[in-house]
Amino acid sequence: MATTPTTLTYTLEEVLARFEQRVDRQFTEINQKMDRQFTEVNQKMDRQFTEVNQKMDKQFAEVNQKMDKQFVEVNSRVDKVESGIQELSNEVKAVGSDLKTLDQKVSGIDKRLDNQEFINRSLFVAIVAVFLGGTAKLFGWLPR
């Protein structure tokens, strides 16, 4: 068997053009696959971000509700404390006015006691004087 030589009549430009077309096709296919994968990854990430955002929104809402409840409770307690302070203030004012009244009464009693002491001292001195006078008369120290 004898082999016959074959001649190729392709130019280097044609061979390079074909090679370039194949490389371009492969790059196009690779780019398309990468675009599809990138799109899929983006979609998955978007779904996951959406899920995470929804969970975070739900948790933030729950936390806000709890904080609102606690804020309302704290405000009601503060209001109760403020009303208690106001009641105590009113009671202190009432006690203060009662003390003023009591002070006036004590000063009035004090004046009366001063008068009573003066009268008692005067009576005591008078009784002692009468007693001494009677004793002096009884023993004859004084003329009859």
For residue range 51-85, what is the model confidence (pLDDT) as tens digits?
Answer: 999 999 999 999 999 999 999 999 999 999 999 99
Assess contact for 116 and 108: CB atoms under 8 A: no
Q: What is the mean pLDDT of the chain?
A: 87
Give pLDDT tens digits for 15-47. Answer: 899 999 999 999 999 999 999 999 999 999 999
Contacts 24+ apart (CB under 8 A), 50-59: none
pLDDT at 39: 95
- pLDDT higher than threshold 90 for residue 105: no
Residue at token pair 């000063």 = 107
CA distance 42 to 132: 127
- pTM of the predicted protein model: 0.43
- pLDDT higher than threshold 70 for residue 142: no
Confidence band for 6, pLDDT divided at 50, 70 and 90: confident
Residue of higher predicted confidence among 38 and 96: 38
CA distance 130 to 138: 12
CA distance 105 to 96: 14
- pLDDT higher than threshold 70 for residue 144: no
pLDDT at 1: 62
